[in-house]
Amino acid sequence: MIQVLWKGRGGQGAFTAARLLGAAWVNKGGYALAFPSFGPERRGAPVKAFTKLDDKPIVDRSEIEKPDYTLDLIRPPDDMAALAERLELPAVNTLLLGRLAAELGLEAEYLERAIDQVMPEKIRERNKDAIKAVAG
């Protein structure tokens, strides 16, 4: 099982990225579980989101204690922050998602299909462009 921890603040898209990764993994034919953990539901509050990926059904629904990957949306790498600014993205969540997916061998087509399933239509293309910018 691959376990991913996303750290962010409310409004940065940590849970959205967790859901997109899970949906893309399912689109590829695997099993996934994505869920958030947060205190007060407000913009700026600390958020943790979790994604579990496997090739068999996932029965453990507990929080991840020893993640294989940790992605921090609060303090993104400088190159990701600069790319988000250049692409006029409000957050780096989709960029980090695209980079992780490439490392996992998850093809961009599955992420694009997940974006169509999860995101509102008005922001789909911008996020697909973000995936393409880091997938290569």
Per-residue pLDDT reduced to its tens digit, 8-22: 998 899 999 999 999
Q: CATH number of the domain that 109 lies in? A: 3.40.920.10
Domain residue limits at 55? 2-135
Please check the confidence at residue 70 and state whether its pLDDT lies above 90.
yes
Model pTM score: 0.93
Quote the CA–CA distance of 122 and 74 in Å, as a whole number. Answer: 25
Number of domains into which the chain is organized: 1
pLDDT of residue 44: 74
Phi-psi domain of 88 (left: phi exceeds 0; alpha: psi -120 through 50; beta: other): left
CA atoms in the 13 A half-sphere facing the CB of 110: 20
